[in-house]
Chain A
Amino acid sequence: MSSCKDEPRTDTKNLPEQEEVEVSNENIPTLNYNELKPLLNKKDDKTHVINFWATWCAPCVKELPYFEKIHKTYNDDNVEVILVSLDFPKKKESSLIPFVKKKNIQSKVLHLDDTKEQFWIGDIAESWSGALPATLIYNKDKRQFYEQSFTQEELETEIQTFLN
């Protein structure tokens, strides 16, 4: 389990749940884009892997274990994984929470609820058409967006390019 203590306080002021990493997915926070944006633009020493997914998106669900493996095996390399769910708000209680519990997902899960898609899709990445799954990988030196599915090998290869 990674600690949040090195992170700048300003990033977490809207997200008290973030401090409680050990039980992070007991309570999945719902954020609007203004609240999510700081997590996509941190200037710390970590490499951040932000995966956009939904329980109804089959290729997203298929690649979740790959992100879980990154979360486990690259913890010491300062890699942080966040899984941002785009499930419909009315499905949070009935689909998202039970899914995360059943799959025992250990990476941090957030729920994005913001209807201003026109703004935030392009703000996250100009190249993103809005298709799921999609993944943002960034650190303070490099930033790349992937509108695609990954295999475990492809995902690790990409992450390596941020660590070297």
Chain B
Amino acid sequence: MKTTLKFVFVLSAIIVASAFSIKTDKDGYEIGDAATDFELENINGKMVSLSDYEDAKGFIVIFTCNTCPYAVANEDRIIALDKKYKPKGYPVIAINPNDPAAQPDDTMEKMQAKAKEKGFTFPYLMDKGQKIYPQYGATKTPHTYVLEKKNNEYIVQYIGAIDDSSRDPSAVKVKYVENAVNALLEGDKPEITTTKAIGCSIKTL
């Protein structure tokens, strides 16, 4: 009886400890996880889902916004990615995760103005209600996820920065997202699957 009690105690201690570690761990996807689809409003008023793209081989999902200097520094590179990889089956889907109540420069109207000014060639969606970015585990803008479509699932194959020089496009040496998508198009796994970069925290109230 005593042993049983001891066992129960140890067991509950383990459960409590693991509950805590789950709590402190960052939520969000790891490489190999299946990412959720979504239905979010685009700047043209239409709703966009990954499942709309029947012919896509995958997606370059980028959480970005209007104002963050690191997001702004990457705008031209995001457009270039879409132009290069949309024809190859990997279109860019940009999602603005900021709550416009917390960041007044990220309203739908200002997103429309930004897309027009820069000539965005890809959907620029609003994460209304901020339901999607926490599932992905995005912490900042810009924050990129390369998804591979496999049996109608969207498998996370790369998480991180677009390249190794977020603030200065002229100093880029390694293009992480391009390398990852190129590898997937060849039927390989990306060599580098996660990277870090400075960015702006996602704005919430």
Contact = CB atoms under 8 A, between A and B. Distances in A.
Interface stretch (B48-56, B84-92, B179-187, B197-205): B197-205
B201 A115 contact: no
A133 B140 CA distance: 10
A132 B168 contact: no
Contact of B201 (A59, A118, A121, A122): A59
A131 B140 contact: yes
Given A127-B26, A130-B198, A131-B201, A117 B166 contact: yes
A99 interface: no
A133 B201 contact: yes
B199 A88 contact: no
A30 interface: no
B196 A122 contact: yes
A149 B139 CA distance: 12
B103 interface: yes
B168 A129 contact: no
A156 interface: no
Interface in A67-88: 86, 88
Contacts of A133: 201
B22 interface: no
Contact of B196 (A54, A58, A59, A129): A129
B40 to A, nearest CB: 22
A131 B198 CA distance: 6
A117 B139 contact: no
Given A88-B167, A129-B139, A129-B140, A121 B69 contact: no
Contacts of A132: 140, 198-201
A154 to B, nearest CB: 15
B171 A57 contact: no
A57 B200 contact: yes
Interface residues of A, number: 21
B196 A88 contact: no
A162 interface: no
A130 B168 contact: no
A147 B202 CA distance: 11
Nearest to B25: A127
B195 interface: yes
Contacts of B197: 117-118, 121, 130
A127 B171 CA distance: 26
Interface string A37-69: 000000000000000001011110000000000
Contacts of A33: none
B196 A118 contact: yes
Nearest to B197: A130
21 contacts: A56-B68, A57-B201, A58-B103, A58-B203, A59-B203, A86-B198, A115-B165, A117-B161, A117-B166, A118-B161, A118-B164, A118-B196, A121-B197, A121-B198, A122-B196, A129-B143, A130-B199, A132-B140, A132-B200, A147-B201, A149-B201
Given A130-B199, A132-B198, A147-B201, 13 more contacts: A57-B201, A58-B103, A59-B201, A115-B165, A115-B167, A121-B197, A121-B198, A129-B140, A129-B196, A130-B198, A131-B139, A133-B201, A147-B139
Q: Enumerate the 10 nearest inter-chain pairs by beta-carbon distance, A residue then B residue, closest first.
A: A131-B140, A121-B196, A131-B201, A131-B139, A129-B139, A130-B198, A130-B196, A130-B197, A56-B69, A117-B197
